[in-house]
Structure 1
Amino acid sequence: MISQDFVYDDTAQAHYREDGYHIFDNCLTPQGVDTCRSNIERIVASLHADSIPEEIICVHQRGERWLWDLAVQPQILDMIERTIGPDILLWSIHILAKRPGAGIDVPWHQDAPYWNVSGNMPGAVWLAIDDVDEGNGSMSVLPGWHTKGTLPRRDSRANNAFNEEIEPGALPENIDDIKVTYRLKGGQMATHHTMIPHSSTTNRSERWRRVIVLRYIAADAQIGEKTYVCPITREPFDREAFLVRGRDLNDQGRRQTPF
């Protein structure tokens, strides 16, 4: 599933630490892309009428084994280990699928405070399943802003997927000049720090925009409570972090698999 050309080297790590993100030319194989795309299509076709395709969260806890298999690929875990050490938790898998000519705007936010986690985090692994650019709702980041700490937030409940955003006054006035917008081919990957401000726009194109986001954290981290809703049944379930490599630090009773 992972390309033999995928490499997380010293240059990539230095860029990530300096700017808070990095884009990789190769990650998924063509077969891996096809597997992910067909499974996402199946899930989207089964969504409850009250669910949206941008909000398919942690369905590996609801039986989607293929997502789990993707998240525990050794090459990806090797990259995570190089950043945070050998004891690793997987705390979230998020499918964000924006339909052609639709999809939500995701406001500027930081992952760690929004998702209620703290600790040594390598950031999110952002896997493009389709070609992604400005036209179909790509993501933008603010290079270097992962070092600014937690920025002030305000309520944004008018947005049906994200209920808070960074206070506009806390963002740079020249944000359009300094932001970096991802332009990825299907199968490429980016990673961004959990404290870097980022956002995405609606899909204005006739193409799908599907990505898978994998989120990891060091095993001694503090992970607050979070309840999700199954996008197919609308049944609530509690988030669970799984020990995918190393030791269960602090004897928290972490399971190694949901299966």
Structure 2
Amino acid sequence: MEYPVSQEKISFYRDNGFVLLEHVVSGEELAELREAMEEVMAADSELSFDREKGSAYYNILNQKVNTWRDSAGMAKFSLHPRFAEIALQLTGAAAIRLFHDHGLWKMPHDSKPTPWHQDAPYWPMRQTGALSMWLALDDVDVSNGCMMFVPGSHNVGKLTGINFEQPRSIFDEVEGTAMNAPVVVPLKAGSCTFHHGLTFHYAHANRTDKPRRVLAVIYMPDGTVFQSRNGSGINDHVVTKAVPFRDGDPLAGRFFPVLAKAGRK
């Protein structure tokens, strides 16, 4: 199915740095995606990677990155043109590439909140136009880890990355800057948000008996180039470690495919 995005939604995203889109997958697709994610999160990783269980980070977020490389079931959704077309419309880019996907589980009972942060400081990109889709596989609210966003916060620029295990307040970096009040965004399963890589966001702890399951996919405009974060001029990001990128190299090739192009049906 196609998913037309209204001009109102596009304008809302560009003004606020995030947008909620309802029912982007059908009930049948949702069941298929849940099954694929259960399998890939339980399996030993080959081309994807995950966080060590039992670590402090695991209590904040259990994630597996690049699930599409190990699982055809996940690839069907992570590479799906429907979602990439939405990213294309929201950004107005000429073409959209995949950066990577995440299977995200916020574990039950002992999980901790995901602190306020921007995504862009963790991505080895010179440009800041990348964005994330956050697709809920379960109904999410404040009891099991729904997100909050600060509208318009993508306009303050790229700040320093937050250490999730020992977080400081990102708001200290913008002290004196007028900021909008945070907005809580609960979602029904099968609905999603898209948010800009510079948008301040936060996820509540999961206090329920079941994992909170999400597929997140990061998209970037074609032409985005690599920029190392360690100052060495070579790749320092786990997603790109298998590819010898240097500063200024385009993030392209078979691991970062074009998924949507303006004017292409």
Specify the TM-score bucket, using the shorter chain as the normaliser.
0.7 to 0.9
Paired residues of 2:36 and 2:74 also in contact (CA < 8 A) = no
Q: CA deviation at 1:139?
A: 1.3
Q: What per-residue deviation string (whole Å, max 9, x for no partner) do you get for residues 135-154 of structure 1?
A: 00111110111101123455
- What is the Cα deviation at residue 44 of structure 1? 3.1
Of residues 111, 134, 145, the one that matches 2:119 is: 111
1:74-89 matches, within 5 Å, as 74-82=81-89, 83-89=91-97
Runs of 4+ with deviation above 4 angstroms: 250-253
Q: Structure 1 residue 179 and structure 2 residue 186: aligned?
A: no
Aligned residue for 2:4, secondary structure, equals coil
Match of residue 26, structure 2, among 25, 29, 34: 29
Q: Distance in 2 between matches of 1:122 and 1:253?
A: 14
In the other structure, the counterpart of 2:152 is 144
CA contact (8 A) 1:119 1:217 kept: no
- Alignment match, 2:246: none
Shift of 1:257: 7.4
Matched, 1:17 2:19: no
State the distance in 1 between where 2:226 and 2:13 align: 23
- Which of 227, 233, 250 does residue 238 from structure 2 map onto? 227
- 1:201-248 per-residue CA deviation (whole Å, 9 max, x = no partner) reads 2211223311111111122112343115xxxxxxxx8366xxxxxxxx
* 1:73 Cα deviation after fit: 2.1
TM norm structure 1 = 0.77
TM-score (norm 2): 0.75
- 1:80-120: CA deviation from partner (whole Å, max 9, x where unpaired): 22224232220110111122213342211111112232326
| Percent identity (aligned) | 23
Aligned to 2:102: 94
Unmatched segments (≥5 aa) in structure 1: 229-236, 241-249
Distance 1:45 1:134, change over 3 A: same
Q: Is the 8 A contact 2:68 2:74 kept in 1?
A: yes
- CA RMSD after TM alignment: 3.1
Tell me the equivalent position of 1:199: 202
Distance in 2 of aligned mates of 1:212 and 1:183: 15
1:254 aligns with 253
**Counterpart of 1:134 in 2: which secondary structure?**
coil
- Amino acid of the residue matched to residue 109 of structure 2? G
Mapped contact 2:136–2:191 kept (Cα < 8 A) = yes
Secondary structure of the structure 2 residue equivalent to 1:202: coil
| Mapping for residues 158-173 of structure 1, pairs under 5 Å | 158-159=165-166, 167-170=170-173
1:144-185: CA deviation from partner (whole Å, max 9, x where unpaired): 11101123455x3635xxxx6653413579x99811122101
Equivalences, count: 232
Determine the C-alpha separation between the residues in 2 that align with 1:39 and 1:176. 40
